[in-house]
Homo-oligomer: A and B are copies of this chain.
């Protein structure tokens, strides 16, 4: 499995064939996204959820999307090490994905790694992102169920940061709920939700203390309940279709760009086109028109 994921991550030539072969078998897993600001305790939660899921006989895949230092060759967070308690369990597969070298393609690659994990038969896949940027939101937002983890006592700017990830929450988790201010965070989320539209499923708010395994069972129940409702309402099927549409568009884009590079525009021609752009004699839109014509599409 680790080798298969590496093939996909490194975009090796055999990735396409591998993914096409695995795709028919990749529909069975429940994908749970876990996001939230740094320090919210996401890895501890993932650890606790994994233990409970294993206790009930379910197999688990964990994908941790990590920022990576080009100098250290891979930042390992302390939290990650803790998760290694599951490392010897054959029912758990853990994979860290470095964001380095994936500029712009991180979401696409993560989707493909999920295909590999799901096809391997994992019942539940937990996708944790450390960042709070758009790529991370996109990754987690395309999960079947998205958890947004908050904690009491974060500063104002961090609280503002969470705004961008509010809209993807299916379940809110207030972790470190034994700290002062937990009730206020719950109340704040509640009042925000009151301002939201009435058409959508109202997200549950679950309080946890991951360090002492408090609230883990309630969180898993909330996830299961969301899944059940989303299945009944058709929301889950719509989400999955949107995700497949994106995968298809990605594949088409990749094909077209490689066709352009291999058949239409020689490297020398491409360079001279960029020369003219750099000299501002040509603009990117007029240049794109020319390329689209040469592709025979206009």
Residues of A within 8 A of B (CB): 16, 19-20, 23-27, 37-39, 67-72, 75, 77-79, 99-100, 102-104, 106-107, 130-138, 141, 155-158, 160-167, 192, 195-196, 237, 240-241, 244-245, 247-257, 259-260, 270, 273-274, 277-278, 280-281, 283-289, 291-292, 295-298
| Shortest CB distance A186–B (Å) | 16
Q: Tell me the complex Cα distance, A292–B196, Å.
A: 41
Q: A36 to nearest B CB, angstroms?
A: 11
Residue of B nearest to A130 (CB): B161
Question: Which B residues are in CB contact (< 8 Å) with A252?
Answer: 256-257, 260, 288, 291-292
14 A-B residue pairs with CB within 8 Å? A20-B283, A25-B280, A38-B157, A68-B164, A69-B164, A70-B166, A99-B164, A100-B167, A106-B134, A131-B131, A132-B133, A244-B274, A244-B277, A248-B277
Given A166-B71, A283-B24, A256-B155 contact (CB < 8 Å): no
Point out the residues of chain B lying under 8 angstroms from A255, CB to CB: 288-289, 292, 297-298
Pair B284/A248 contact, Cβ less than 8 Å: yes
Q: Which of B19, B164, B166 contacts A285 (CB 8 A)?
A: B19
- Least CB distance, A56 to chain B, in whole angstroms: 26
Asked if A23 meets B283 with Cβ closer than 8 Å, knowing A131-B164, A164-B131, the reply is yes
* A-B contacts besides A23-B283, A133-B135, 6 pairs, CB < 8 Å: A38-B155, A133-B133, A133-B136, A248-B291, A255-B288, A255-B297
Partner of A195, one of B71, B240, B260: B71
Chain B residues in 8 Å Cβ range of A257: 249, 252-253
Given known contacts A131-B134, A133-B134, A280 and B24 CB-to-CB distance under 8 angstroms: yes
Chain B contacts for A283, CB-based, 8 A: 19-20, 23-24
Please measure, in the bound complex, the distance between the C-alpha atom of A58 and the C-alpha atom of B240, giving whole angstroms: 51
- A134 and B102 contacting across the interface, CB-CB below 8 Å: yes
Whether A67 pairs with B288 at a CB distance below 8 angstroms is: no
Whether B104 lies near A259 (C-beta < 8 A) is no
A131 CA / B162 CA spacing, docked (Å) = 10
* A144 CB, nearest partner CB in chain B, Å: 13
Closest chain B CB from A282 CB (angstroms): 9
Provide the residues of chain B in CB contact with A165, threshold 8 Å. 67
Contacts of A277 in B (CB 8 A): 241, 244, 247-248
Instruction: Tell whether, in the assembled complex, residue A75 and residue B163 are in contact, meaning their CB atoms are under 8 Å apart.
Output: yes
**Cβ contacts under 8 Å, A291 to chain B:** 248, 252
B38 x A158 contact (CB < 8 A): yes
Residue on B nearest A77 in the bound complex, by CB: B160
